[in-house]
Amino acid sequence: MSNNRIGLFGFGVVGESLYRVLQQTPSLQSEIVKVAIRHPEKKRKAPTQLFTTRADELLHDESIQTIVELIDDAEAAFEIVSTALRNGKSVVSANKKMIARHLPELLRIQKESGGSLLYEAAACASIPVIRNLEEYYDNDLLQGIQGIVNGSTNYILSKVSCEQISFEEALTDAQIAGFAESDPSLDLNGTDAANKLCILLAHAYGILAAPEQLSYTGIQALHEQDAVFAREKGWAIKLVAAAKKVTDGKVAAYVLPQFVTDRHLLHTVRDEYNGVVIESGLAEQQFFYGKGAGGIATASAVLSDLSALRYDYRYAYKKLNSHERAVLSMDVFLRVYVSFDGLFQVPHELFERIEEWSSNDKRCSVVGIIHGSRLAQSDWWKQPGTSLILYPEPVVPPELLRKEPVERELVFV
Q: How far is the CB of 205 from ligand HSE (least distance, A)?
A: 21
Q: How far is the CB of 132 from ligand HSE (least distance, A)?
A: 18
Tell me the residue ranges of DSSP E strands in 200-350: 215-216, 236-245, 250-260, 273-280, 284-291, 327-328, 333-340
The nearer residue to ligand HSE, 152 or 215, going by C-beta atoms, is 152
Q: Give me the helix-helix angle, 224-233 and 151-162, nearest 10°.
A: 70
Q: How far is the CB of 182 from ligand HSE (least distance, A)?
A: 9
Catalytic positions are: 196
Going by DSSP bridges, is the β-strand pair 30-36/51-52 parallel, antiparallel, or unpaired? parallel
Maximum C-alpha span of the chain:
76
The nearer residue to ligand HSE, 12 or 392, going by C-beta atoms, is 12
Q: How far is the CB of 195 from ligand HSE (least distance, A)?
A: 9
**Alpha-carbon span 359 to 366, nearest angstrom:** 9
CB burial class (10 A; 0-12, 13-18, 19+) of residue 329? middle
The nearer residue to ligand HSE, 12 or 347, going by C-beta atoms, is 12
**Alpha-carbon span 111 to 85, nearest angstrom:** 10
Cβ–Cβ under 8 Å, residues 330 and 368: no
The nearer residue to ligand HSE, 295 or 372, going by C-beta atoms, is 295
Element (H, E) at 400: helix 398-401
Q: How far is the CB of 246 from ligand HSE (least distance, A)?
A: 27
Going by DSSP bridges, is the β-strand pair 273-280/142-148 parallel, antiparallel, or unpaired? antiparallel
The nearer residue to ligand HSE, 14 or 389, going by C-beta atoms, is 14
**Alpha-carbon span 68 to 302, nearest angstrom:** 8
Element (H, E) at 182: none
3-state helix, strand, coil in the chain (%, to 5): 40, 25, 35
The nearer residue to ligand HSE, 69 or 375, going by C-beta atoms, is 69
Q: How far is the CB of 181 from ligand HSE (least distance, A)?
A: 5
Residue nearest to ligand HSE (CB): 152
List contacts with ligand HSE (CB under 6 A): 125, 150-152, 179-181, 187, 192, 292-293
Q: Which residues neighbour 260 within 8 Å (Cβ) at sequence distance 6 or greater?
A: 235, 236, 237, 238, 240, 266, 267, 392
Q: How far is the CB of 292 from ligand HSE (least distance, A)?
A: 5
The nearer residue to ligand HSE, 50 or 177, going by C-beta atoms, is 177
- Checking 57-64 for CB contacts under 8 A at 24+ apart, the result is 57/7, 58/7, 58/8, 58/9, 58/34, 59/7, 59/83, 59/84, 59/87, 59/89, 60/87, 61/7, 61/34, 63/5, 63/33, 64/5, 64/6, 64/7, 64/33, 64/34, 64/89
